[in-house]
Amino acid sequence: MAVRAAVLPAVGAPLEVTEIDLPAPGPGQIRVRLAAAGVCHSDLSLSNGTMRLPVPAVLGHEGAGTVVAVGEGVTHLAPGDGVVLNWAPSCGDCPACARGEVWLCANALNGSAAVHAHRTSDGAELYPGLNVAAFAEETVVPTSCALPAPPGVPLTDAALLGCAVLTGYGAVHHSAQVRPGETVAVFGVGGVGLAALQSARIAGASRIVAVDVSAEKEELARGAGATDYVVASDTTARDIRALTDKQGVDVAVECVGRAVTIRAAWESTRRGGRTTVVGIGGKDQQVTFNALEIFHWGRTLSGCVYGNCDPQRDLPVLAEHIRAGRLDLSALVTERIALDGIPAAFDNMLAGKGGRALVVF
């Protein structure tokens, strides 16, 4: 069956919105009709080569939709069921999974190397970018890449749970482990940053400082829970310390993935505080520290993959926050677009504009 999809023909090449031939679901697979898919910076990182996976590929990894067909052996999902796509399924067998660190699963992206579909125009083999190929009207995924959608949450909103919200929430609650009364700075007011701001508010942070290069995002950040807003500059760390009795924040969460913002987040963190890096940077982004400052400041610097989340554990928790009105998914979305609007959404991300762009089918 032919469906429309956004295909990355080669690293660095423009996306092509074209028709693809999608096979019927095989054993252990389901076919999903997408309701919505978020445009994430990781998709941009795949398109420009910062992250390396097989191409040509159908991009998109943050999505939700309705099951329309199931393959042999699938009994726990049926046509009509709503699902949230899980781009990083854990294998359950590798050393990371054995330790309970499923977000570090060594085999999570193995599915990205399997042929997903064929381009209708020339029959070229296509791979699923980050396993799930959500930038398409429909997709076929293994059941490990689908979680039951939370009851009462519209599928168009639930799409954001697949990456931005799990990552932002997990960065605050699992990686940084923000405690009530602590001060927090979030660097980067995109989809993940907005989720981190809301999560810091849910965690009971006393002061939440949002940092971004764009002054235009202040209203968006304050709506997500920021108590203060700093436009990024050479004095960012100094500005944040001025807001916190010259101490710095207890926790800084970096959602950009650039050396300059990682360094600024580190310098904005108080002595003995925690700096969590969520953003995915390129190999050319070198961050340096001297031995004396590491000793003197006593800070903790940690990476954060997928918010250190276990989606099966954390999705029900997020659903409860949504139903209780503590977490507003629609507040993350600043633009609703069609498939053809993804290249422009990429340009906006590069320019630092907006929050999350959402492809609505």
Which CATH number belongs to the domain containing residue 32 in this structure?
3.90.180.10
pLDDT tens profile 231-266: 999 999 999 999 999 999 999 999 999 999 999 999
Among positive and negative, which fits the CA dihedral 328, 332, 337, 340?
Answer: negative
Same domain, 151 and 170: no
| pLDDT value, residue 282 | 87
| Number of folded domains that form the chain | 2
Asked if residue 312 belongs to a domain, the reply is: no
Q: Report the predicted TM-score, pTM, of the whole model to 2 decimal places.
A: 0.95
**Each residue's pLDDT tens digit, 122-175:** 999 999 999 999 999 999 999 999 999 999 999 999 999 999 999 999 999 999
Q: What is the CA radius of gyration of the chain?
A: 20
Is 311 within the bounds of a domain?
no
- Whether 203 has a pLDDT exceeding 90, the answer reads yes
CATH number for position 180: 3.40.50.720
Whether residue 347 sits in one domain with residue 298: no
Neighbours of 87 (CB within 10 A): 27
**Neighbouring residues of 215: CB distance < 8 A, sequence distance ≥ 6:** 231
279 and 189 housed in the same domain: yes
For residues 157 and 177, state if they share a domain: no
b/e per residue 111-144 (b: at least 16 CB within 10 A): bbeeebbbbbeeeeebbbbbbbbbbbbbbbbbbb
353 has a pLDDT exceeding 90: no
* pLDDT tens digits for range 175-200: 999 999 999 999 999 999 999 999 99
- In this prediction, residues 217-237 reach a mean pLDDT of 97
CB-CB contact of 90 with 102 (8 Å): yes
Domain check: are 35 and 63 in the same one? yes
**Are 244 and 180 in a shared domain?**
yes
Residue 51: band (very low, low, confident or very high) from pLDDT cuts 50, 70, 90: confident
Compute the average pLDDT of residues 57-64.
97
Say if residue 149 is in the same domain as residue 170: no
323 within some domain: no
**Does 105 map to a domain?**
yes
Q: Decide if 179 is inside a domain.
A: yes
| Cross-strand bridge partners of residue 20 | 3, 119
Mean pLDDT of 315-325: 95
What residue numbers bound the domain in which 182 lies? 165-306
Same domain as 223, residue 101:
no
Quick check: 289 and 263 in contact, CB under 8 A? Answer: no
Q: Which amino acid would we find at residue 330?
A: S
308: left (phi over 0), alpha (psi -120 to 50) or beta: left
Same domain, 54 and 145: yes
pLDDT at 91 over 90: yes
